[in-house]
Each structure stands twice: as C-alpha cells, then as structure tokens.
C-alpha cells in the first residue's frame, strides 16, 4: 500500500510504501495539500468520552469506543493511565485494561499502561487531584502485583522520589524495563539527583502537580528543567500551564527533550457535566476545565491531541514540525513505545496520520494503525 502526503519534517511530498511496517519512503511528484506524519502518541490518558480507565467496572466495549474516538484526533498509540487509588481498585483497573487490550480489535493501539501513583506526595499541591488517603511509600512487591494484574503491560510509572528508599525502588523498576517518571513531587534537589542517578528519565506534566507557592530557587521545577537526563512532558491545553511557562520550559529543555500529553480524563469529548474518575467525581465546566467536584483543583483535562498541537504552535510558538515531533518520535522514545522511534522511516510501524492545516487548525483526514486505516 502507498500513502502520499507532504512530509511534516521536510515540507516535501513523499510516498510511503507499507504493509504493517514502513517499507520505503520516496519523493512524490506533484503538489500535495495534506501533511503526512507518524501517528500521534499520547502517554497519559485517564479517560475519554465518559469512559473511566481508572475504574475496574468499566465495560471493555466502552474502552474500545473511546479508542475509536482517539483515532479521529490522529492518535494511534496511547497509554491508558491509572491514577492513585486503593490497591484493589488499581489492580482491578489494570486487570480490566489488560482484558481490553487482549480482546478488542482496538487493543493494539494501547501500547502499554501508565500508572500514575500511588507513590506520590501526599502534600497539598504536589498531590494534585489524587486522593490523599491512598498516597503511600514505594513498595516493590505491590508494584509487581500491579504488573501481574496488568499482564506485563505497565510501561510507564510516575512517582515522587521524596520517599525514603526511592532510589533503590527506581533501580528495581527500571531493571524490569519500565520507564520511571518523576511527578506529583516535593522532592529536594538531592532527592531528584538521586532519582535520576537511579534511572528516572522523565518528568510527568512538568509545571503541574506542584505547590501554588514555591521558593525562587532551588525548587523541583527548576531542578527538573535543568537536568538534561530528564525528558519532560507537558499538557498543552492552555489551562494547566500558561503560554509563558510552556514557551520558556520548552526552550530550556530543548524540543528534543520534550513531549506532549493530553492528560485527558473521563469528561474529555463530552458536554459539560459531572463524571467519575476513579473513586472521585469531577466536573467539566463550560470553559473546558476539568475540576474535582466542588473544588478549585484541576483533575486532568478535556484536551484532544490535535488541539494540543495547535496550542503548541500558538502558545509555545514552535513550528508544526516541532509540535509533531513532540507528539510522535519524542513521545515514543520517552515512553519506550516499540516500533515508533524513527518516524517516517523504513522499519517503523505503519502508523500514520494524514491532516491538513487550516488557519492554524489541524484537521485530521485519515489515521492508519499497523498499516490498516482506522479513521477517515
């Protein structure tokens, strides 16, 4: 099969020949209006279309429905994300997601699972919207139980290295092939340095899950921005972090060490109203903010990845090519997404998105997964 479009990276027309993987990329003749890019990757999706990935009771078919909608936003690989909860609920949600991955036609799009918590800061601010009563110290035996429930699908694990014994825990988790990310933390400079030395390689939605007030320096945001061994994820919804921070942070890290996530939660893609996220209720307001019910605290986002790319160009003032890079190759390398680390190159999976740009808007025309058209 052949797909033709304007290569986002070079701006020149290309023809991509493919089966399940890319076989050849060659120049194409004639003018081409639509852009062709690797399929978008989202490493942090807590829910979508009213479907809660953190609940053990979510019907498998509903997870498939949410995945099909993600295709329409250009996303081809994504990590359903389970947040802090009781041991039983977290294991149950992971077991349910594993069942969905194994049985649904959309299962291959779930490239792995992201567990965000429960080994995060219990302190107000860094904890974010995670329930305080379930925040707890790292426990490798429990991690192994989570991985068993997930049938080996946990690929990304967010924790705070402020807990005693964190470096040893990180070393053991990384040794299993799981990427460890720092997030929801109040860690000191030394604790962060020890975590990186132990193998932590990412920062989860940097600039969020933090105190409202911080000392000028040092603080855990500056420390992570300055650490070249950490690749940083950002929620580009224009709500979680302002344009000035997003622009400055991407410049500080360098585009090559940045990726974009939606951090979408249950109400994403739905009308305003009240929804469930794990054991908690959240409200989607008219301004697209997702808040803990009755509280002034963000609880994920209502962001779509195609809108996220638009926001990166508009708010961070980066190019389309760099925005796509943050949503594709950078995300694949950060989250260790198999077969997606080269881009439009022979040998990578045939995951594509064909889109046009209209007055700064990304309009998805078609999406392919493993060489199979799944949208458009």
Tokens in use for 360? 């700064």
Q: What is the number of other CB atoms lying within 10 angstroms of the CB of residue 262? A: 30
Tokens of 229: 């061994």
Give the residue-averaged pLDDT of 11-17.
96
Q: How far is CA 99 from CA 102, 149, 150, 209, in A?
A: 5, 10, 9, 30
List the one residue out of 197, 94, 198, 93 whose CA is nearest residue 138. Answer: 198
The strand pairing partners of 24, in sequence order, are: 17
Whole-number pLDDT of residue 31 = 86
Taking the CB of residue 31, how many other CB atoms lie within 10 A of it?
7
Q: Using alpha carbons, select from 354, 288, 268 the residue that is nearest to residue 39.
A: 354
| List 263, 306, 348, 351, catalytic entry | 263
Mean pLDDT of 154-161: 98
pLDDT digits (tens, 9 = 90+) for 278-332: 999 999 999 999 999 999 999 999 999 999 999 999 999 999 999 999 999 999 9
Looking at the DSSP assignment, which residues form a beta bridge with residue 366?
A: 354
DSSP-derived secondary structure for 144-175 = HHHHHHTTT-EEEEEE-TTSTTHHHHHHHHHH
User: pLDDT tens for residues 62-81?
Assistant: 999 999 999 999 999 999 99
pLDDT tens readout for residues 206-225: 999 999 999 999 999 999 99
Indicate whether 130 pLDDT > 90. Answer: yes
For 188-309, list the strands marked E by DSSP.
Answer: 202-203, 231-235, 258-261, 273-277, 280-284, 290-292
139: annotated active-site residue: no
- What digits encode the pLDDT tens for the residues 340-375? 999 999 999 999 999 999 999 999 999 999 999 999
Superfamily of domain 39-340: Metal-dependent hydrolases (3.20.20.140)
Residue 14 in tokens = 């290309």
pTM of the predicted model, to two decimals? 0.98
Whether 60 shows a pLDDT value over 90: the answer reads yes
The C-alpha angle 84, 89, 94, rounded to 5 degrees, equals 85
């Amino acid at each position: 099969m052949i797909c033709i479009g304007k290569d986002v990276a070079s701006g020149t027309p290309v023809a991509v020949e493919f089966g399940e993987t890319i076989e050849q990329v060659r120049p194409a003749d004639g003018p081409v209006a639509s852009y062709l890019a690797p399929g978008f990757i989202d490493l942090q999706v807590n829910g979508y279309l009213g479907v809660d990935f953190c609940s053990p009771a979510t019907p498998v078919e509903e997870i498939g429905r949410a995945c099909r909608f993600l295709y329409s936003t250009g996303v081809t690989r994504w990590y359903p994300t389970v947040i802090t909860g009781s041991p039983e609920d977290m294991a149950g949600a992971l077991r349910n997601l594993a069942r969905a991955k194994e049985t649904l036609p959309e299962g291959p799009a779930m490239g792995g699972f992201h567990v965000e918590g429960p080994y995060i800061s219990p302190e107000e601010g860094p904890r974010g919207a995670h329930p305080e009563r379930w925040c707890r110290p790292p426990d490798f035996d429990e991690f192994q139980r989570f991985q068993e429930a997930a049938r080996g699908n946990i690929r990304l694990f967010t924790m705070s290295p402020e807990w005693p014994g964190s470096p040893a825990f990180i070393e053991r988790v990384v040794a299993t092939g799981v990427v460890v990310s720092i997030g929801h933390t109040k860690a000191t400079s030394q604790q962060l340095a020890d975590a990186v030395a132990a193998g932590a390689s990412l920062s989860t939605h940097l600039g969020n899950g933090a105190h409202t007030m911080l000392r000028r320096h040092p603080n855990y945001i500056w420390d992570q921005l300055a650490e070249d061994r950490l690749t940083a994820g950002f929620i580009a919804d224009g709500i979680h972090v302002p344009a000035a921070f997003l622009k400055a942070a991407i410049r500080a890290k360098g585009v090559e060490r940045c990726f974009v996530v939606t951090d979408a939660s249950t109400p994403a893609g739905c009308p305003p109203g009240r929804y469930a996220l794990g054991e908690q209720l959240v409200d989607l307001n008219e301004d697209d903010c997702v808040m803990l019910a009755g509280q002034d605290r963000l609880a994920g986002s209502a962001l779509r990845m195609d809108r996220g790319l638009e926001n990166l160009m508009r708010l961070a003032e980066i190019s389309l090519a760099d925005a796509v890079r943050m949503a594709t190759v950078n995300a694949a390398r950060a989250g260790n997404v198999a077969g997606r680390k080269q881009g439009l190159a022979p040998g990578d999976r045939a995951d594509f998105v064909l889109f046009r740009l209209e007055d700064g808007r990304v309009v998805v025309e078609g999406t392919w997964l493993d060489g199979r058209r799944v949208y458009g």
